[in-house]
Structure formats: structure tokens, C-alpha cells
Amino acid sequence: MFFILRALKLGRFFGRNALSEKFETDEPTRSLSGLILKNNVKAHFHNFPPEVTNSSKMECLQNVGDPSALIRATIGILITTIASKGELTNWPELLPSLCQLLDSSDYNTCEGAFGALQKICEDSADFLDSEVLNRPLNVLIPKFLNYFKHHSPKIRSHAIVVSTNLSSVKPKLLCFISTPSWSHNICHWRVSKMMHVRIGATKQKGLITRALSKDDNISKIYLTQQNLFALASDEDSEVRKNVCRALVMLLEVRVDRLLPHMQNIIEYILLRTQDPDESVALEACEFWLTLAEQQICREVLGAHLERLIPVLVHGMKYSEIDIILLKGDIEEDDMIPDNVQDIKPRFHKSKSHTQQHSIEEDGEDSDSDYGLDDDDALSDWNLRKCSAAALDVLANVFHDDLMPVLLPILKETLESTEWEVKESGILVLGAIAEGCGSQLCITAFCSEQMCKCHGPHLPRLIPFLISCLSEKKALVRSITCWTLSRYSHWIVNQPHEEYLKPLMTELLQRILDSNKRVQEAACSAFATLEEEACTELVPYLDTILKTLVFAFGKYQHKNLLILYDAIGTLADSVGHYLNQQNYIELLMPPLIEKWNTLKDEDKDLFPLLECLSSVATALQSGFLPYSKPVYERCVLLTEKTLEQINRASVDPEVEQPDKDFMIVALDLLSGLAEGLEGHIEVFVANSNIMSLLFQCMQDKMPEVRQSSFALLGDLTKACFQHVKPHINDFIPILGQNLNPEFISVCNNATWAIGEVSIQMKGDMTPYIGLVLTQLVEIINRPNTPKTLLENTAITIGRLGLVCPDMVAPMLPQFIRQWCTSLRNIRDNEEKDSAFRGVCAMIAANPLGVVQDFIFFCDAVASWQNPKPDLKEMFFKILHGFKTQVGEENWNQFSNQFPLPLRERLAASYSL
């Protein structure tokens, strides 16, 4: 209790000394004492003596109106901490007291009370609509509405935020919105699907649904929005900002209540998007992102596009302050060393086993940064980025309907002699690439009297953009790199001499640009192009490698890390085609030089290890001359990290190590095993990697287990003789990690089980019971990610291949989902073994597939070129079924098939 008593002694919490008005503690010390007390409340509140608890509560309420804003904020934090730890039911006088303090004529008291109430909304949301407390919402909302017209802008802002929170019964999320970082985080989720934000929102769903089902809460929303309308023209920018935030929140929660007023709201938000205060304009611009997610978007916004789109395009132009912060007047800076403090930390993404698909699909994790710069000066979410994001999502809503509005704007911006305007036009082209890029018309790029074509214009657009890569201004060159990357899918599928080759030539020149920002944009764009082109780049590998290797000697620290990514992506894309001696002699010396230079504790190892993992996998045996020191260092990194973890677990004074070093080492070992295959056996035999792997598989950190299971699977394929002695220890751990709450961990554990089963064959029998039931539950679990479904289906098939009699009885429980999960997988060895397994299970339990036989037929037809013996298995099962049911029943049954399926089965299996 020493710290609590010390906090109490420091001026009776944070206030003046009770015995002497002359004595005052300085603000930082008073605030620190409050924070010390807050930490003790969080850790030990339930052990507080009653007198300490009561004294703490009393002092907080007495000092909530402290003259110091810092102290008022500290008291607000302490109040909500006490309330959340002890629950509002144990402090019944808190809300009435704070409401009473709102009526104080003293500004500090009123503002302090509002600040405390806003924090309570954030931390004690569930209690505010509680019957136990007589539903405080019924009192609080009408109370707060009275302050919408307060003479103080700060109080008006508080009233807007708290009232909207309470009326929508979404306090945690809205208070999150009220923080300066909300705009960046929530909208970056819309762009990048950042799941931590999505999960945070989902937690409130039940509360929102319950609350909004009550008429009185709907009425409160209505009352709040009416008061918001009254503040629409407020002179204070902070108030206007909070009005916009509140409207966005209400749009997300109850769009139906705003619908009768939607035209007026759109007019208001349109005006505020042009607000002279950029922070207000940014909050208003969020409205368009939210509206685009609503089903009513086309209906209510269509008539306003002619005025909205120019506003968004104008918002995408660099402001003067942006250009100053980006040092846009400096064209050549590649010789200026980077400031290490300006380089953002990089985080490793653990290896996850995935399948390739026979049908092209939109990436679920696609990311777009709207040509945004990584400079800290502009790394926060701003009006330019938000405007580009809004145009992107609106293009995906309106598609072709957006083009008549956009085309004149594009013509004007792209032909402008002002580089800032032209740059914004190129950004527009990138923003609309996904939604309506393929519909771009020639009128945007040629005079009206010459234009007689109204078809897609990408054949002229791409050469135009490629020419912009040579623009004088570095910021124009960098945004052009990004925009072209957005069209890389189209480019790769056109004649290479016309599009891919010219683009690749120019991008490689930009990779060696004299401006670091252009270098970065070009490297990122080239990595995107590599992913799209894959082996189409093989004819150009010599030129590509020479350019990338030359960049090693040219790049400063920051871009060197991005260069690693471009090289790793190239290796992933072209695979074994990189395994030629002349390519190896070009690529490996600079990589190994960096490898030897970096110390074990240097975090620059992360991107280098990731790069080497991809290179090792691609080079296969070509990496063998470099593999021994790489292997040994990875084992050493893993061993050192585990030793530090063990020391920290027994000695609190020892700091926990950064486990990313171990994770990237495991992933590189996995890459070595995949690339070297049997050649890695001698290294495994002479190391303690299996015992280290056993420890890593049990680590508390999911990412460590994820990488461990990936390595186990690859070692199983490469040198099972060293894995087999440990199977009794490994399989129970794998079974314990078949938990889809940790998707990537579960995915890799599932895949590793499949690889082990292929090697174990019939010896897998004792372990089937440890894993099969869980795998069947996973494959039938709703909303299971596609990758996990695919790997689960393959592993079930493999278990059925080696132990058909044990797995076949469960066939009816999984066969439909099994077939639908694998129908789009490309032909490969894993798919082959899985289908052989399901054929073996059907032979053992033919009745198990009868009810879902159409799905099996569809899965069989998904094969492009099965091996002859596998095709014979399919033939026997299909014709056996037809024989069993008879010609007439088969005809009735097959007439249900879609025409392409009937044609495919007839052509391949004579059905």
C-alpha cells in the first residue's frame, strides 16, 4: 500500500494541501501521483481497505474541476478506472454527482465532469443501459442535449460526443472514434481489412442490437440528430468536427433514422468536406467512406456525384504544407543518408501454408495505400488519403456511372501544366483502377473533335502513364509507379512487347532513380508486377537481377529493406528458374555480404531472413554452397532466444527477448528444408534442431507455434528419418493446436499432420483419434477461412489414404464440405494424395457418399489433368454408382447437373 499512501499524501491526491493553501505540488508531480494511484487501482483495487476506497472516490469528485487541464484529465482517468474495477453498481453516487457538477457555473468543473463522463462511456459501456442502475441513459441523454447550445465550444463538443455515444449505445466504439487516431485506424481497416479494428467493433454487436431494438433509444437517436442539425453551422471548428463524427457514427448505427434527412445531411457533409479547416474536412470525408458501405448509397448519392467527385479530386491534391513536409522541392537525395529514427519498425509475418487456385480470385487481403508516402510527416491518415479511399469505394459502387463525371476532370488534371494538379490526376487513375478502370474512355486523353471512340481506353492509358515515369518532378514519378501497379494485372495479360516490356524497362530505371521516394515506389510497384507476372518475367531475369543487385550499392538504409522484399518476391514468383549459375553468381554475393555484416540483434535481419528464405526455396540445390553457415546461424538464433525466454521465466529482472528473431530463423530453416529437400539431412543430423523445435511448438506466442509447425511439415517432407523418433511428442501438440480461433496456427498444424501421415502410412493408426474429430469439426465450422478449409480437407483425405478403415465411417459428416473446399485447387501432389484418400474411403464405405454424390462428381470434374491411375479410380467410382442406380435413375440424377459439369464428365469419363 506504500504507493497508494504516497499518492494520497501528494496534495491529497492531486489537489492543494489541506493544511496549507500556500503549498502546491507542481502539475507533473500531481499528475504522476494520480497515475500511480490509477495503476494500483487496476492491480489491487479489491484489496483496498474501505477507507482508502472511499477516500479515493471522494477526492476524485472534489477535484474534478481542478484549474489544470492536465489534472482534470488525470482525475477523469482515475474515476473511470475505479468505476470499471469496482463496477458502477458499487459507486451509485458517481453518475448523479457528475451530472450535478455539469450544472456548475465554473467552466473547469463542468468541463472536468464532461471529460470524466466521456471516459466512463468508453470503459463502462455495458452498465449504462442497465436495469440495475435504473437505465442511466434515460437521464443522461436529455441532460447532455441541453449542453449543445453551451457558450463554450469545448463543452458543446463534449456534449456532441457523449450524447451520440449514449444515444447509439455504442460508447466504446464511439469513444475510440473520438480519439485523434480513429480516422486513420478505422478507415485503414476499410482499405486494408485490419482485423483488430473489426474485432473491436464486433464485440459491441450484441449490446447495439439489444439497445436499438428499444423504441426509447431510437427516440434518443432522433433527438440527438435534431440537435446535431442545430449545430451544423457552428463557428467553432472543433464543434463542426464532432458534428461530422457524430453523423458518421449514426450512419453506421441507424441509417434508417437518418434517411428522411439524408439529402440535407449530404448537402451539409459536402460543404464540410470543403471546410477551410482540414481536420474538419477530413472528418466529413469519412462520411463518404461509411455511406459507400450502405445499401442505400447509389440511391441517395447518385444525384450528387457531379458535385462530390470534383471535391474529392480536389482533396487529393498535395497542399503546400504537404509539399514542404515531403521536401517536394528536393529532386535528388539518394546520396543523403537516412535518419535511422525515421525508419519505421518492420514486423515479420510468419509462414503459412496455402494452396494455389485454378480460378483467379480477388485477394482478400489486398492492400492499397493510395500512393501514400511513408514519411512520418504524412504517415497519418489525412484528407488526401481519405479522399482517394472515398473515390476508390465509390468507384466500386457506381462503376460506369462514375465515368461521365470523372472523364472531364481527368482530361483537365492530366493535361495540366501544374505538376501538383497532374499528380492528383494520376492518383485519381490509381484510385479508380479496381472499380471502373477498365471503362476509361479515350475522351479523357484526346481533344473532343478527334475522339470518336467510346470504348475501354487502357491501351492508350498505359503508355501515357509509362511516359509519366520520366516526369521531372519526383512526386509525379512516385505516384505514377503506384498507379501503374494498380493496372499490373491487365498489363501482364496483354502483348508483352507493347506493355509489359516497356513498363518493366521504365520501372527498373526508376528503381535506380536519384530520388529515394521514387526508388521506394518503384520497388513496391515492381514487387506487385512480379506477383502478377510470375514466370512471364523469366526472359528478363538477367536485366532484372543486374538492376536489383546494382541497387544494393546505391540504396540508403530504408530502401535497402524494401529491396529485400522485391528480391524475395521475385524468387517466389519465378521459382526454380532462378537456379542458374549466372543468376546465382549475380544475386548471392551481395545478400551474403549483408548477412555477414548484420549482428544477431540487428532487426534488419528480419527482411533479410525473409528474403533469403524465398531465395533458398527458389534456388533449391543452387543454394547449397551457402546453406551451412545460414543453417547454423538460424539454429543459433533460435537457441539463444529460447535460452533468454527460459532465463526471463525464472528471473523477473531479465527482459523478455524479441521472439521475432526466432520466428524469422524458423521460417528461413523452413525455406532451406523446402529448397534443399534431402540435402538438408546432414545439417539436421549434426544439430539439436529437433529438441529446439519441440520447445518452440509449445511456446505461448501463436506466431512462434505457427512457424514451428511450418518447419515441422517441411522437415517431414525433407528428412522424415529425423522427425519420426519424436512423433509421440509432436502429434499430441499438433492436436492441441487444432483450434480455429488461431487461424494461422491451426492451418499450419493441420498441414503438418497431413505431411506426417503421408510419411507414417499405416503407422498413423494410433494417432487418428487425436486429430480426426477436430478436423471434421473444423471443416464443418461456419465462416472458416478458405485456406484453413482447403488444408483441412487435404489432411482428412491424406488420413483416409493411409487409414481408410478408420476414417471412412465419418465420410457422411464431411464429404460435401470436403468436395466444395477442393474444387478450385490447382492440380498438385497434395490434391492428388487427398483425392486418392477419398477414393479409398468411398471404396471402404460407399454408402457414405450417396447423399452428396453430386458434389463428388463436381470435385472430380475440377481436375484438369489427373494422373492415369487416379483418373481410373474416378472412372470406376462414377461408373460403379451409375451401374448401382441403373440407367434411368442415373439419367434423372445427371440431368440435375449444370451443363458444363455434364459436358466435362461426358468428355473425360464417358458419362
Residue spans of alpha helices (H) in 178-254: 182-192, 195-202, 205-212, 215-230, 237-253
pLDDT of residue 762: 92
Per DSSP, what are the bridge partners of residue 436? none
Q: How far is CA 514 from the centre of its chain?
A: 32
- Whether residue 748 is predicted with pLDDT greater than 80 in this model: the reply is yes
Query: What does the pLDDT read at residue 147?
Result: 64
> What cell numbers appear for 728 in the block?
509421440
Pick from 491, 447, 443: which is nearest to 465 by CA? 491
Could you tell me the three cell numbers for 731?
A: 502429434
Mean pLDDT score, 479-503: 93
pLDDT at residue 222 in the model: 39
With a CB cutoff of 8 Å and minimum separation 6, the contacts of 425 are 313, 409, 410, 412, 413, 414, 416
Q: Which of 864, 775, 780 is nearest to 823 (CA)?
A: 864
- What is the H or E stretch that residue 528 is in? helix 516-533
% of the chain residues with pLDDT over 90: 51
Higher pLDDT, 450 or 703: 703
DSSP 647-685: HHHH-TTSPPP-THHHHHHHHHHHHHHHHHGGGGHHHHH
Q: Produce one character per residue of 54-70: b if its CB has 16 or more CB atoms within 10 Å, e if not.
A: ebbbebbbebbbbebee
**pLDDT in the model for residue 255:** 83
Percent of the chain past pLDDT 70, that is, above it, reads 78
- First-to-last alpha carbon distance for the chain, in angstroms, is 82
Query: Are residues 771 and 810 in contact, defined by beta-carbon separation less than 8 angstroms?
Result: no
Q: How far apart are CA 640 and CA 642, in angstroms?
A: 5
Long-range contacts of 731-735 (CB under 8 A, 24+ apart): 731/756, 731/767, 731/770, 731/771, 732/770, 733/697, 733/698, 734/697, 734/709, 734/771, 735/770, 735/771, 735/774
Beta bridge partners of 357: 825
Q: Does residue 522 carry a pLDDT above 80?
A: yes
Spacing of C-alpha 14 from chain mean position: 42
The grid coordinates of residue 326 equal: 515531403
Render pLDDT for 789-826 as a digit per residue (tens, 0 to 9): 999 999 999 999 999 999 999 999 999 999 999 988 88
In contact, 384 and 317? CB cutoff 8 Å: yes
Contacts of 642 (CB under 8 A, 6+ apart): 662, 692, 695, 696
Question: In the prediction, which pLDDT does 86 show?
Answer: 65
Contacts of 307 (CB under 8 A, 6+ apart): 270
pLDDT at site 823: 87
With cut-offs at 50, 70 and 90, classify the pLDDT of residue 839: very high
Q: Exposed, middle or buried: residue 454 (CB in 10 Å: 0-12, 13-18, 19+)?
A: exposed
Task: Please state, as a whole number, how many other Cβ atoms lie within 10 Å of the Cβ of residue 725.
Answer: 10
Nearest to 786 by CA among 774, 778, 798: 778
Q: 3-state class of 450 per DSSP?
A: coil
Which has more pLDDT, 91 or 837?
A: 837
pLDDT: is 13 or 480 the higher one? 480
Judged against a pLDDT cut of 70, whether residue 36 lies above it is answered with yes
Higher pLDDT, 323 or 647: 647
Interatomic CA distance for residues 66 and 61, integer angstroms = 10
The Cα 81–Cα 253 span in angstroms is: 27
Q: Which of the two residues, 458 and 14, has the higher pLDDT score?
A: 458
Q: Determine contact, residues 318/384, Cβ cutoff 8 Å.
A: yes
> Residue 502 above 70 pLDDT?
yes
Computed over every residue of the chain, the mean pLDDT equals: 81
Nearest to 243 by CA among 214, 215, 273, 263: 273
pLDDT for residue 651: 86
pLDDT at 3 over 60: no
Burial of 450 (0-12, 13-18, 19+ CB in 10 A): exposed
Number of helices (H) and strands (E), helices first, in the chain? Answer: 50, 0
- Judged against a pLDDT cut of 50, whether residue 360 lies above it is answered with no
| Per-residue CA distances from 717 to 132, 495, 711, 714, 758 (Å) | 60, 40, 10, 5, 9
pLDDT at 867 over 90: yes
Residue 417, all three cell numbers: 501544366
Q: How confident is the model at residue 735 (pLDDT cuts 50, 70, 90)?
A: very high
Q: Residue 455 pLDDT > 80, yes or no?
A: no
| Whole-number CA gyration radius for the chain | 32
Q: What pLDDT sits at residue 513?
A: 94
Q: What pLDDT, on a 0 to 100 scale, did the predictor assign at position 191?
A: 30
In the predicted structure, residue 194 carries a pLDDT above the cut 50: no
Predicted pLDDT at 214: 40
The residue ranking higher by pLDDT, 12 or 843, is: 843
Lowest mean pLDDT among 334-343, 430-439, 563-572: 334-343
User: For 648-659, what is the mean pLDDT?
Assistant: 88
Using DSSP's 3-state secondary structure scheme, residue 719 falls into: coil
Closest CA to 60 of 101, 26, 19, 24: 101
Q: Where are the alpha helices (DSSP H) in 336-382?
A: none
Which tens digits make up the pLDDT trace of 59-86?
888 888 898 888 988 888 888 888 887 6
- CA separation for the pair 195, 176 (Å, rounded): 15
Placement of cell 534488419 in the chain: 604
Would you give the DSSP letter of residue 852? G
Confidence grade of residue 164 (pLDDT, cut at 50, 70, 90): low
For residue 619, what pLDDT is reported?
94
| Between residues 841 and 26, the one the model is more confident about | 841
- Give the confidence band of 203 by pLDDT, cuts at 50, 70, 90: very low
Q: Between 87 and 861, where is the model more confident?
A: 861
Within 8 A by CB and 6+ apart from 239, the residues are 153, 156, 157, 160, 231
The confidence score (pLDDT) of residue 376 equals 44
pLDDT, residue 30, reads 84
Q: Please give the pLDDT value at position 229.
A: 52
Query: Is the model's pLDDT at 168 over the cut of 70?
Result: no
Mean pLDDT of 17-24: 38
Average pLDDT (581-608) is 91
Cell representation of residue 325: 513536409
**Residue-level pLDDT at 492:** 92
At a CB cut-off of 8 Å and minimum separation 6, what does 605 contact? 598, 661, 664
- Cα angle for residues 171, 297, 289 (degrees, 5° grid): 50
Least confident of 234-238, 369-373, 892-896: 369-373
Task: Give 550-584 pLDDT, tens digit per residue.
Answer: 999 899 888 998 999 999 999 999 999 999 999 99
Alpha carbon separation from 109 to 64, 117, 120, 266 (Å, rounded): 6, 12, 17, 37
Quick one: pLDDT at residue 654? 85
* Distance separating alpha carbons of residues 489 and 184, to the nearest angstrom: 28
534: left (phi over 0), alpha (psi -120 to 50) or beta: left
Q: What is the pTM of this model?
A: 0.73
Q: 161 or 640: whose pLDDT is higher?
A: 640
Q: Residue 264: is its pLDDT beyond 80? A: yes
Q: What is the pLDDT of residues 609-651, one digit of tens each?
A: 899 999 999 999 999 999 999 999 999 999 999 999 999 988 8
β-pair partners for 825: 357
Query: pLDDT digits over 104-141, tens only?
Result: 888 888 888 878 887 877 666 666 666 666 666 666 66
